[in-house]
């Protein structure tokens, strides 16, 4: 997101930010804050209530050269940036032994106009590099609360998720990306809803349920949630409170270590009218694949909305090679199983990203030279193609337009 497209903060905060920035950069350059105030005061009356962001940034950039205004903004407040979205971790709430909720205060430029069910990108610095991941928002989109939350479940193979759950301290500054995703609940919601979740798949649905509760518009909702055991069941106490509070909210908890996995061909035993309900499902790929098949067989695929956290990479790897990132001038030596996105981030390239699973197209870049292989299908792409870096690997030496 460019600096010119970042939304400005509220007027009182903007004024304080402007004068504070003016003082800091003026002191650094030998100018005075009075001069910058004079320039702003000379703007036409119709613009006086909201100082032109380009004027402020332009004047600040000239006075701080060769540094950038961000270098001084960071000294005043680490959440202020004209180039990127930032946030501060204010609380880490342990949910289970392997999961935690991160409560984050977003900085300048963040918009609370997201929708329940969407996900947000978050980057944390580890081992000298910034690593990006995407997680569902579990908070409600309320501007007055000033915070957002994500709930992260650590996985054995995920060193970033493990760090977020067990190694992140309150006060840590993280980078944020604007919320995305179409796994959302309409407003007003359907009269009859089925939520089908398992494991961490409950996280986007929790954001939806909290939003329905806040709006006091809880329709006829059936939640079927699977977890290995009570200790690993996310939001277990909160869901039980909801079930007690709202007669229209029905909870079925499937503890697989005790009851075994829920077979979807027996779904009617748990929810007799499931074919009449608009359904949102999120969980392991096998469960979602079965749901897709079942809803298709019942000729109601339009009633099923899916959110996948992983993508099946069954197309085999590339041959590996040297990946050159043209804009940054950086290179990476990779094997045939490492995605081009991971390769770029590993050497410090700011790769465009979104869902990180080959769906949203946010990571697409041009392939300048060489060839790459799609890890899902095995299809090979040549120079001149547009490729998804999150699901592609090098098939020999290649150059990317990023």
For the chain, domain boundaries: 3-76, 85-180, 192-296, 321-400
- Rounded to whole angstroms, how far apart are CA atoms 148 and 87? 9
Q: What is the DSSP string of 384-398?
A: T-EEEGGGEEEEEEE
Res 117 pLDDT > 90: yes
Res 245 pLDDT > 70: yes
Neighbours of 172 (CB within 10 A): 17
Res 42 pLDDT > 70: no
CATH topology of domain 192-296: Rossmann fold (3.40.50)
Q: Which residues of 270-293 are buried (b: 16+ CB within 10 A; e: fewer)?
A: bbeebbebbbbbbbbeebbebbee
Least confident of 80-94, 175-189, 375-389: 80-94
Res 163 pLDDT > 50: yes
**Mean of all residue pLDDT scores within the chain:** 83
Cβ distance 139 to 191 under 8 Å? Answer: no
Q: Which residue has the higher pLDDT, 7 or 316?
A: 316
Angle between helices 33-41 and 11-29 in degrees, nearest 10: 130
Structure confidence at residue 13 (pLDDT): 52
pTM of the model: 0.73
The burial of 349, by beta-carbon neighbours within 10 Å (0-12 exposed, 13-18 middle, 19 or more buried), is given as buried
Looking at the structure, give the CATH architecture of the domain made up of residues 321-400. Answer: Roll (3.10)
Mean per-residue pLDDT, 108-126: 91
Q: What is the pLDDT of residues 47-103, one digit of tens each?
A: 333 344 444 445 555 555 554 555 555 554 566 565 678 999 999 999 999 999 999
- Domain 85-180 and domain 192-296 have a common topology: no
Q: Which residue has the higher pLDDT, 226 or 72?
A: 226
Cβ distance 124 to 130 under 8 Å? Answer: yes
Res 381 pLDDT > 50: yes
Q: Which residue in this structure is represented by tokens 């079925």?
A: 252
Q: What is the pLDDT of residues 286-320, one digit of tens each?
A: 999 999 999 999 999 999 999 998 766 666 666 89
Cβ distance 150 to 200 under 8 Å? Answer: no
Least confident of 39-43, 47-51, 95-99, 107-111: 47-51
Q: Which residue has the higher pLDDT, 127 or 20?
A: 127
Cβ distance 200 to 309 under 8 Å? Answer: yes
- Rounded to whole angstroms, how far apart are CA atoms 55 and 68? 15
Mean per-residue pLDDT, 176-205: 95
The domain covering 85-180 belongs, at the CATH homologous superfamily level, to Translation factors (2.40.30.10)
Q: What is the pLDDT of residues 120-143, one digit of tens each?
A: 999 998 877 888 889 999 999 987
């Amino acid at each position: 997101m460019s600096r010119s497209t970042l939304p400005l903060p509220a007027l009182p905060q903007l004024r304080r930010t402007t004068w504070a920035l003016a003082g800091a950069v003026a002191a650094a350059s030998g100018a005075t804050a009075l001069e910058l105030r004079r320039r702003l005061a000379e703007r036409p009356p119709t613009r006086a209530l909201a100082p032109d962001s380009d004027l402020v940034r332009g004047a600040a950039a000239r006075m701080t050269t060769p540094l950038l205004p961000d270098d001084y903004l960071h000294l005043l407040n680490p959440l202020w940036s004209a180039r990127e979205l930032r946030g501060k971790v204010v609380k880490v709430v342990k949910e289970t032994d392997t999961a935690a909720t991160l409560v984050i205060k977003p900085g300048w430029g963040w918009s609370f106009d997201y929708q329940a069910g969407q996900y947000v990108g978050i980057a944390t610095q580890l081992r000298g590099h910034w690593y990006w991941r995407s997680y569902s928002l579990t908070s409600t989109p309320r501007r007055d609360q000033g915070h957002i939350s994500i709930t992260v479940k650590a996985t054995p193979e995920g060193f970033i998720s493990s760090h977020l759950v067990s190694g992140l301290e309150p006060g840590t500054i993280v980078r944020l990306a604007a919320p995305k995703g179409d796994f959302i609940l309409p407003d007003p919601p359907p009269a009859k809803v089925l939520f089908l979740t398992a494991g961490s798949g409950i996280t986007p649905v929790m954001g939806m349920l909290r939003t329905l509760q806040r709006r006091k518009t809880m329709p006829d909702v059936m939640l079927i949630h699977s977890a290995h055991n009570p200790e690993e069941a996310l939001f277990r106490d909160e869901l039980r409170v909801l079930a007690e509070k709202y007669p229209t909210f029905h909870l079925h908890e499937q503890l697989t270590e005790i009851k075994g996995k829920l077979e979807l061909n027996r779904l009617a035993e748990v929810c007799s009218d499931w074919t009449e309900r608009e359904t949102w499902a999120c969980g392991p790929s096998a469960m979602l694949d079965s749901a897709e098949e079942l809803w298709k067989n019942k000729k109601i695929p339009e009633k099923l909305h899916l959110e996948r956290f992983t993508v099946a990479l069954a197309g085999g790897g590339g041959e590996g090679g040297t990946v050159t990132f043209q804009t940054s001038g950086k290179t990476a030596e990779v094997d045939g199983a490492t995605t081009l996105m991971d390769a770029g981030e590993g050497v410090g390239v700011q790769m465009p990203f979104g869902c990180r699973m080959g769906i949203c197209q946010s990571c697409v870049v041009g392939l300048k030279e060489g060839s790459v292989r799609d890890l899902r299908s095995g299809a090979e792409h040549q120079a001149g193609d547009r490729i998804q870096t999150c699901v592609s690997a090098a098939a020999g030496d290649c150059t990317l337009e990023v």
